[in-house]
Amino acid sequence: MMAQVQDFEGAIASFRRALALDPRAPLTWSGLGDAYISTKRFDEANEAVDAFLKMVELRPNDGFAHHRQARALEAAGRSGETEEAFERARRLGYPPQ
């Protein structure tokens, strides 16, 4: 079995380069947010929140976007905002029943 490479810093740099070319790519913002969360450095959790906020701005009616933002808010310890984001995701049908 091959070991999975976890170069989150490299991923962050790649996502940032991609966003410099197309800042309106919501899934690239999602990837950036996931990369920040994956570093497990909670001092950078707000970077993940910002990335998912941008995704939500680009896809305001996408429950998945709101759910990912809620997960980032949770990682950042922002509990009041977390439940609001989860509720928006539920209202938009995410997760699917």
At 4, the pLDDT band (50, 70, 90 cuts) reads low
Summarize pLDDT for 82-92 with one digit per residue, the tens. Answer: 999 999 999 99
Summarize pLDDT for 38-83 with one digit per residue, the tens. Answer: 888 777 888 999 999 999 999 999 999 999 999 999 989 999 999 9
> What pLDDT score was predicted for residue 43?
78
**pLDDT at residue 5 is higher than 80:** no
Topology annotation, domain 8-17+26-91: 1.25.40
pTM for this one?
Answer: 0.84
**pLDDT at residue 1 is higher than 60:** no
Q: Which one-letter DSSP state was computed for residue 62? A: -
